[in-house]
Structure 1
Amino acid sequence: MTGGRVFAAANLNDLPDIAAKIGMELRNQYVLGYKPSDARRNGTWRKIKVKLMPPKGLPPLSVYARTGYRAPTD
């Protein structure tokens, strides 16, 4: 996997809140996989879109996902 998020601390007093946010994200993450319909190994950029459809009654949720990937080559 690639990518990541940055949590910048303006001062040391921000660290406990940042640590709590990082912990929450680590406990609430998922890894998804799929098999593309285009199996060609041609190195082209493939767009992907991840949609979140939570059940009613849940608080607002966020998705952090890549917008695509490069197909492998032989």
Structure 2
Amino acid sequence: MSEKNAPLTADSTIKQWLNHPKGNAALEELLAQGGQSLNALKPLSALPLKKLMPMSQGALTPELVEALVVKANS
């Protein structure tokens, strides 16, 4: 299974999310709500998505991460 089609999880890296069509779209939508773009995540590409939670100062909750995972894999 290619990276573009592999299921995404909270443990998937930001790079994997950005390279996945639905994952990319889900992150882009989320960031746009906060006035950001996907470029904000590029320096963090090696980190798993779940590692962004403490860095987000509460903006990225476990529930939001789970919703992103569901959306990306639907």
TM over 0.5: no
Higher relative contact order (CA 8 A, sep 6+): 2
Normalised by the size of structure 1, how large is the TM-score?
0.26
Relative to total residues, which structure has the larger helix share, 1 or 2?
Answer: 2
Normalised by the size of structure 2, how large is the TM-score?
0.26
Higher gyration radius (CA)? 1
Relative to total residues, which structure has the larger strand share, 1 or 2?
Answer: 1
